[in-house]
Amino acid sequence: MELAEWRKHIDQVLVDEGQWFGILNEDGHPIYEFGGIVHVSFPETRLATSSVEATVNVTPGDRILDDLVGEGLGVVDDAGRLAPANGPLRMLCHIRPGERQTAYITHTVVEGRGTPSTLTIHGVDLMDALATWPCPSIPVEWGEHEFSEWETDASNTKYATPRTLAQLPFATKADGYTASGPARDTVRRLVQDSFDGVNALYGWTDAHAVVEFDGTPDDSPRVVIRVNDDPVLETVAEPARSAGLGIEVRLWWPGDEPVRVRTKRDPEITAASTWSTPKLIVRVYEVEE
């Protein structure tokens, strides 16, 4: 089914049953649904990746068994994403009225005497997208470099097999690269700059994730964030915590409300946007006391 058809079906399931469970592909599209839910846990941890777990009853031949059970589920691919060794990335999705919870599946555990009777799905929430994504110290220059084949490393030591690499500028302790300003806007700019820089390096024109700029005044405390090419979440978590901010990452589907994002032509201008494909939306917000 197309996503629009899936949404109509899911809306009806919500009316009839109050919730929907399904598996999404690596692009965030539903590929099948499942029932037999025994237990589900989608905890939220402020400014950190949370572990997700769901246990379902199964019988031999169930599609979810064929799809998710296999050795090596949870390998990290070349782009830093979690991916099953026996197939593409899968995502767990739990929808209730007004709420869509999604997680990357890392591994599964099957139990049963002789034949499988229960399947426990383990995963991490979408904050993991920030925990594995680099935060470049000089993001504007990443798009100016290209990948090429290297037979030796920088010290002229020969690789066992040639590697495809790009030589990028990185910060050093002496460089002192920092981002400063009101905390909420500074964190948002850092995250969006990181998306833009890595996407430009790889030539990815259809961004998988964007940062929401809601257009409201930013009255958060001023921060100075040191940027040294660590992952995004590691770079911004403590400054955000000190400033009383939280970060959420959610899955947006075509048909959801528009999201105000930074425009490519002028980063100082924002515009309400929609897309024809699913997106990860990063929202930086002030935590209510």
Instruction: Give the model's pLDDT for residue 288.
Output: 79
What is the number of structural domains in the chain? 2
Which has more pLDDT, 262 or 288?
A: 262
What does the pLDDT look like over 163-205, one tens digit per residue? Answer: 775 656 666 555 568 999 999 999 999 999 999 999 988 888 8
Q: Is 159 part of a structural domain of the chain?
A: no
Over the chain, what is the mean pLDDT?
Answer: 87
Same domain for 104 and 183, yes or no, is: no
User: Which pLDDT score, from 0 to 100, does residue 287 have?
Assistant: 92
Asked whether residue 85 carries a pLDDT value surpassing 80, the answer given is no
- Give yes or no: residues 83 and 181 share one domain: no
Same domain? 93 vs 187: no
- Confidence at residue 14, expressed as pLDDT on a 0 to 100 scale: 97
Encode pLDDT of 255-268 as tens digits: 999 999 998 877 78
Domain identity same for 35 and 109: yes
Is residue 48 situated within a structural domain? yes
Helix intervals (H) in 18-168: 63-68, 128-131, 139-142
**95, β-bridge pairs:** 20, 100
Q: What is the pLDDT of residue 196?
A: 92
Same domain, 7 and 121: yes
**Which pLDDT score, from 0 to 100, does residue 69 have?**
82
Question: pLDDT for 39-54, tens place per residue?
Answer: 999 998 999 999 999 9
Q: Is residue 166 part of a domain?
A: no
Q: Quick check: is 40 in a domain? A: yes
Residue with tokens 């029932």: 35
What share of the chain in percent tops pLDDT 90?
Answer: 61
CA 261, 263, 268, 271 dihedral sign is negative
Residue 86 lies in a domain: yes
Residue 161 lies in a domain: no
pLDDT tens digits, 119-165: 999 999 999 999 999 999 877 776 666 666 766 766 667 777 777 75
Higher pLDDT pick, 61 / 29: 29
Whether residue 253 lies inside any domain: the answer is yes
Q: CA–CA separation, 96 vs 86, rounded Å? A: 30
Strands 222-226 and 209-211 turn out to be unpaired
H or E segment and range at residue 43: none
Looking at the fold, whether 185 and 85 belong to one and the same domain comes out as no
Residues 91 and 18 in one domain: yes
Do 88 and 202 lie in one domain? The reply is no
Contacts 24+ apart (CB under 8 A), 157-165: none
CA dist., res. 174 & res. 231, Å (int)? 20
Who has greater pLDDT, 105 or 169? Answer: 105
* Short-list 135, 196, 144, CA closest to 170: 135
Whole-angstrom Cα distance, residue 191 to residue 212? 10
What pLDDT score was predicted for residue 150?
64
Query: Between these two residues, 107 and 79, which has the higher pLDDT value?
Result: 107
Ranges 79-93, 200-214, 217-231: which has the least confidence = 79-93
Higher pLDDT, 202 or 100: 100
Give the dihedral sign, CA 245/251/252/255. negative
Please enumerate, as own/partner, the contacts of 87-91 that have beta carbons within 8 Å and a separation of 24 or more: 88/25, 88/26, 89/25, 89/26, 90/23, 90/24, 90/25, 90/26, 91/23, 91/24, 91/25, 91/26, 91/28, 91/123, 91/251
Residue 274 has pLDDT above 90, yes or no: yes
Domain boundary among 125, 160, 195: 125
Q: Provide the residue range defining the domain that includes 106.
A: 3-125
- Rounded mean pLDDT, 98-124: 90
Total residues found in the chain within this entry? 289
User: What pLDDT does 84 receive?
Assistant: 46
Predicted confidence at residue 79, as pLDDT, reads 47
Instruction: Report yes or no on 67 lying in a domain.
Output: yes
